[in-house]
Amino acid sequence: MARVSDSKQSISENNRYLFGWYSCTWGTALMVALPVLSVFYLALFPKENIWTHLANTVLPVYITTTLMLMLGVGALSIAIGVCGAWLVTMCRFPGRRIFEWALLLPFAVPAYVIAYVYTDLLEYSGTLQIFLRQLFGWQSARDYWFPDIRTLGGAILMLALVLYPYIYLLARAAFLEQSTTIHDASRTLGCTAWQSFYRVSLPIARPAIAVGLSLVSMETINDFGTVDYFAVKSMSAGIYDTWLNMSNLGGAAQIASLMMIFVVILISLERLARAKQRQFHSADRFKTLTGYPLKGGRAWGATLLCALPVIAGFIIPVSVLAGYALNNLDQLWSSDFQLHASHSFILSGCAALLTILVALLLAYSKRLHKSRSLRLAARFSSLGYAMPGAVLAIGVIIPLAAFDNFVDRLMEQLLGISTGLLLSGTAFAIIFAYVVRFLAVSVGSVESSLNKITESMDMASRSLGHSPLQTLVKVHLPLIKGGVLTAALVVFVDCMKELPATLILRPFNYDTLATYVYQYASDEMLEACSLAALLIVLVGIIPVILLSRTISASRHSN
């Protein structure tokens, strides 16, 4: 009887543990999803409904411009990313080993930074036009024609130069995983290298390219710094204008809801594009790739094609920033620069830590209690990554402001004191937005690491009397620390670069490196903020190195 009682007690205790993990998981998922729900609620029930006015005036322009921006950036990113991935994976030419990782370097440069740099170089008072006027003796802009960088086309080029690595990364991974037997068979059937690429490799890699394209499109929708600086009327800029310039949060929420519909359509199209394709790895996927040797003009042409995006997307911007920064090194010791840098590092560090903790909770709960409900909770928690920063800012400010107002009214009634802003308008709002925005990155990395650990280790730990929490701390964390650290670094860098949500949610007179760069560069003072911009880029190189090592280790090639 004692054994039966002990067994029942053990089962009851186990159920309590599972229920506790289950409750925490769903509670966290709902908290993360709260900004999404808040945006749709305010869009449906605004205090002042200006939807008709928006639809009759600026909304068609916002939608058309956003669609054109997405199509342009997507097409150019596919051209650069797929071409570069194929060349460095399947062809042999001078500099290939360098370009394998160098093509990822523009990933470290925020889009708004590269936009500021090229505007500084190419505008009428910029270095290039001054040089041309001196060279040809031109006196004014009427004497010659020069393309205007601050246009929709310029925004497309700037965004594509820093976003194509999404497609390059996934396309190269897909090419590396393809069977050499298939390529050998295509060559024996008389296909040239180009025909083999077009008829065999590209169709197989299409699902990976579709995923990369969806990421590029979402980042394009999310961008605010570039479109604002170039005066491009996208929906992201429209949210900012409607909320802060027209003082209508409900109208901004309605535009934000429309943006969310765009994102849902993008995700649905991406899944539809690869729904009917199933990929299987053959036994020779780890066989060394031999590739196609290029000679003469073709070889140097391939080198040039790979060098152009690296030069335009990384070397030129970094060189310009470094040149300006050398003349402003005294800023390193200025109190303002150190304060802005400390804000960025503290906010990003706190967000990275919290994101990892939440990711561990969600991923480990799914491992403990395999159910459709918990899988749904994990998907709920990943909604934030699909939310553009401007949309996320609205979704965060609504519930936090409601909480602050409730507490303030309550304290006024009970104690006759005003509590003011407790959460909204503070650093907490920014950190919360970061966690919601980048949680999906951490969850994916942590879950991937946990899946590599056999479940027999869980059972062995439990048989030794360890609780689920003790098993996580003593068994799993030491084994997955590499994946956890990688996720934390990627989130940290993403937070350092994030601009739209930070710009809207920051407290009064509170700047990070990103908002500091935005403010000065918007006032045509790039040199004054060059050191801050360069620091953001240098920090952004960290995930580039990690990503390069990951895809290079997947398969060896000669």
Structure tokens at 236: 């992201």
Confidence of residue 478 (pLDDT cuts 50, 70, 90): confident
Q: Find which of 15-19, 238-242, 260-264, 310-314 is predicted with most confidence, using mean pLDDT.
A: 310-314
Question: Does residue 366 carry a pLDDT above 60?
Answer: yes
421: nearest Cα among 397, 437, 389: 397
Report pLDDT digits (tens) over 283-300.
Answer: 445 455 566 788 888 889
- Distance between the two ends of the chain, CA-based, in angstroms? 69
| Burial class of residue 152, CB neighbours in 10 A (0-12, 13-18, 19+) | middle
Of 131-135, 198-202, 482-486, least confident by mean pLDDT is: 198-202
Mean pLDDT of 348-372: 84
Report pLDDT digits (tens) over 324-353.
Answer: 999 888 888 888 889 999 999 999 999 999
Alpha carbon distance 214, 217 (integer Å)? 5
- More confidently predicted of 346 and 201: 346
User: Collapsing DSSP states into helix, strand and coil, what is residue 293?
Assistant: strand
Confidence of residue 410 (pLDDT cuts 50, 70, 90): confident
Confidence of residue 468 (pLDDT cuts 50, 70, 90): confident
Alpha carbon distance 104, 167 (integer Å)? 10
Percent of the chain with pLDDT over 70: 84
Q: What is the pLDDT of residue 489?
A: 84
Mean pLDDT of 356-380: 77
Mean pLDDT of 394-402: 87
Question: Does residue 10 carry a pLDDT above 60?
Answer: no
Mean pLDDT of 12-39: 73
For 104-156, give the DSSP string.
TGGGGS-HHHHHHHHHHHHSTTSHHHHHHHHHHT--SGGGS----SSSHHHHH
What would you report as the CA-atom Rg of the chain, rounded to the nearest whole angstrom?
26
Report pLDDT digits (tens) over 126-158.
Answer: 888 888 888 888 888 888 888 888 999 999 999
319: nearest Cα among 81, 121, 158: 121
Q: What is the pLDDT of residue 283?
A: 47
Q: What is the pLDDT of residue 281?
A: 47
Of 160-174, 199-213, 489-503, least confident by mean pLDDT is: 199-213
Report pLDDT digits (tens) over 70-118.
Answer: 999 999 999 999 999 988 888 888 988 899 889 989 988 999 999 999 9
Question: Does residue 494 carry a pLDDT above 70?
Answer: yes
Q: What is the pLDDT of residue 126?
A: 84
Confidence of residue 162 (pLDDT cuts 50, 70, 90): very high
Contact 513, 540 (CB under 8 A): no
Taking phi first (over 0 means left), then psi (-120 to 50 degrees means alpha), and beta for anything else, what does residue 424 get?
A: beta
Count CB neighbours of 323 within 10 A. Answer: 12
Average pLDDT for the chain: 82
Of 275-284, 304-313, 376-385, 485-494, least confident by mean pLDDT is: 275-284
Q: What is the pLDDT of residue 553?
A: 59
Q: Which residues pair with 120 in a beta bridge?
A: none
What does the H/E/C string look like for 196-218?
HHHHHHHHHHHHHHHHHHHHHHH
Lookup result for tokens 């900004």: 35
Alpha carbon distance 211, 267 (integer Å)? 9
| Burial class of residue 281, CB neighbours in 10 A (0-12, 13-18, 19+) | exposed
Mean pLDDT of 444-465: 77
